[in-house]
Amino acid sequence: MPKTTLLPLLASGDFCSGQALADALGVSRTAVWKQLNALADYGLEIETVKGRGYRIPGGIDLLNEARVRASLTPQAAGLLASLQLLDTVDSTNAEAMRQAGAGATAGLVCSAEQQSAGRGRRGRTWVSPFARNLYVSVVWEFHQGAAALEGLSLAVGVAVARALAAHKLPPVQLKWPNDVIYQGAKLGGVLLEMTGDAAGACQVIVGVGLNVAMPGAAAAAIDQAWTDIETLGAGAHPGRNTLLAALLNELLPLLAGFEQQGFAPWREQWLELDAFAGEPVVLHTGAGDTAGIARGVDDRGALQLETTVGVQSIYGGEISLRRAQ
């Protein structure tokens, strides 16, 4: 059942009678009842009160194309080729990748209420409950291969931080290579995937996941300290449509300029947001652990790890960084 039929009628959180729902949808009350039951698949609670009807307690903040577009800057609107807001998908990155393979051009944005197989870095799952968080993937085209993409995922982290700051949310920090964190807990992450010629024309899928109002039940599946925008904003936030537009307002111009400019213009901002600057850290790689002091990043986005044998430049990949215990 697409949410576009029943859910908008209940999104306000007000009661709606079975008959009113049936009339609005032009279906029988039995069909309405079946659809209401199906909403359980989305993990949504439907309250039923005799004589008043049905409601979603607290309402639900659905993605809405017109509302996203209304908050875009002229520059972002000009760079946006198409905006796809899906109900549920395996992964917005996987969907964007499929569309890139089928010829989608730069500026295609794919977002969804829910991901059934949201992908995180290092083979992890990205917990993606329905209509609570943001899952966004942007397709962009690059012409000079993978080398021109160095530092892009770090710059995307800066773009996320700027988008939140634009809405007066408290400042977040970045953990190399691309975690967005607040008070030591993970708020969001970035996953870049590429298709095409690694040495020439390629398409990059820039995936951003941002926890907005993570329900406790879904959070039980997260295996690290997490937080969400609702916590940052002490219960208040501008809503997912405004936040999605804010992200695109930063991401699309970043992508449009990145091949020419590279990471260098973003480095200073990244360093200001660096959560581990000057701190003892341990770098975990497939080959083992390396202890050192985090000394920021260079112009290419490589972590500068000060070790007993000197400063090493560490490039991204299947690597994670932790504060030393």
Active site members: 121, 186, 322
Measured distance CA(95)–CA(266) in Å, rounded: 28
Which region, judged by CB under 6 A, interacts with ligand BTN, from 143-151, 202-210, 251-259, 289-297? 202-210
Cβ-in-10-Å burial (0-12, 13-18, 19+) of 138 comes to buried
Residue from 113, 150, 179, 250 binding ligand BTN (CB under 6 A): 179
Which region, judged by CB under 6 A, interacts with ligand BTN, from 100-108, 112-120, 214-222, 267-275? 112-120
123: three-class secondary structure by DSSP: helix
End-to-end CA distance of the chain: 49
Q: What x/- string results for residues 67 through 106 when contact with ligand BTN is judged by CB under 6 A?
A: ------------------------xxx-------------
Q: Find the shortest distance in angstroms from Cβ 96 to ligand BTN.
A: 8
Q: What x/- string results for residues 127 through 166 when contact with ligand BTN is judged by CB under 6 A?
A: --------xxx-----------------------------
Minimum CB distance to ligand BTN smaller for 299 or for 318: 318
Measured distance CA(192)–CA(314) in Å, rounded: 18
| Contact status, residue 126 vs residue 118, Cβ threshold 8 Å | yes
Residue from 53, 120, 292, 301 binding ligand BTN (CB under 6 A): 120
Element (H, E) at 69: helix 65-70
Minimum CB distance to ligand BTN smaller for 32 or for 63: 63
Which residue's Cβ has the minimum distance to ligand BTN?
A: 189
Q: Which residues of 104-121 are buried (b: 16+ CB within 10 A; e: fewer)?
A: bebbbbbbbbbbeebbbb
Which region, judged by CB under 6 A, interacts with ligand BTN, from 58-66, 116-124, 139-147, 262-270? 116-124
Measured distance CA(66)–CA(63) in Å, rounded: 9
| Contact status, residue 283 vs residue 319, Cβ threshold 8 Å | yes
Residue from 3, 39, 97, 118 binding ligand BTN (CB under 6 A): 118
What type of residue sits at position 139?
V
Minimum CB distance to ligand BTN smaller for 71 or for 115: 115
Whose tokens are 């051009």? That residue is: 105
Measured distance CA(232)–CA(245) in Å, rounded: 19
Minimum CB distance to ligand BTN smaller for 21 or for 191: 191
Minimum CB distance to ligand BTN smaller for 60 or for 110: 110
Q: Which residues bind ligand BTN (CB under 6 A)?
A: 91-93, 115, 118-121, 124, 126, 135-137, 179, 189-191, 207-209
